[in-house]
Amino acid sequence: MSETQLLPETDALIDGLRSRRSGHNFDPDTDLDDETLEELVLDATYAPSSFNLQPWEFVAVQDDDRLDELVDIANGQEHIADTGTAVLVAGHTEPKTADRVFEEWVEAGRVDAETAEGMKEATVEGYEGERAGRDYAIRNASLAAQNLLLAAHARGLTATPMTGFDFEAAAEFVDLPEDTIPVMLIAVGPSAGDEPERLPRRDVDEVLHRETV
Ligand SMILES: Cc1cc2nc3c(=O)[nH]c(=O)nc-3n(C[C@H](O)[C@H](O)[C@H](O)COP(=O)(O)O)c2cc1C
């Protein structure tokens, strides 16, 4: 790629995504401040989502006793208590933001009202079926979770995504409504230092397929 096609921030972005780690070495004595938490969630909301539905919620657990309970829900993963902050990223299994979002498509002049109505109907239909809503929830919220991980890394914080927890218990623990499921639990906070060497990645030659697998 020629130099002129690169963004000014390309190097920093690529370095950042390649140096991100799922860290476990959290500083138990320092907590995330509120402003940083809000910034991280703001960054997460810049993730792409189907039709811009933004079908996600972020539940920050910071109370010490509740973090201890969350450790139990997460199979004894103690680093959750060390972080001081665990964010449950949850996804909607129903397109419950559709009315508002498709209105915004029209208000922004992106489509006319009739087209937006068609898009909305197609979206609602797309969520029908046994697994569709769950799949959408996981796809959309996972992208938001990755944004949060990268944003934490960019701010010099440590963050680890986790699915090693009891999903039903976690949903109950934070009072998720029926149409919203836990997708990723993220322990995030100031680092206490080095992490072990990164585990190897599969080679591009092995994972990149051309036309068919
Ligand atoms: C879907 C998913 C579930 C994960 N669950 C856990 C978990 O429960 N506990 C944990 O410590 N790390 C968990 N991880 C982190 C992985 O272990 C980590 O991403 C992997 O070892 C690669 O390391 P890296 O992220 O530092 O490159 C999870 C990661 C993903 C994507």
Tens-level pLDDT at each residue, the chain (213 residues): 555 688 889 999 999 999 999 999 999 888 899 999 999 999 999 999 999 999 999 999 999 999 999 999 999 999 999 999 999 999 999 999 999 999 999 999 999 999 999 999 999 999 998 899 999 999 999 999 999 999 999 999 999 999 999 999 999 999 999 999 999 999 999 999 999 999 999 999 999 999 999
CATH number at residue 139: 3.40.109.10
- Give the range of the structural domain holding residue 148, as residue numbers without chain letter: 26-95+131-192
Write the residue with the smallest CA distance to atom 18 of ligand 1: 22
In a domain, 55, yes or no: yes
> What are the structure tokens assigned to 96, written together?
């419950």
* C-alpha to C-alpha distance for 182 and 166, rounded to whole angstroms: 10
In a domain, 9, yes or no: no
Q: How far is the CA of 186 from the centre of ligand 1 (A)?
A: 10
**Residues 48 and 163 sit within 8 Å (Cβ to Cβ):** no
Q: How far is the CA of 78 from the centre of ligand 1 (A)?
A: 15
Pocket test for ligand 1, best of 160, 188, 195 (most atoms within 8 A of CB): 160
In a domain, 184, yes or no: yes
User: How many separate domains does the chain show?
Assistant: 1
In a domain, 76, yes or no: yes
In a domain, 202, yes or no: no
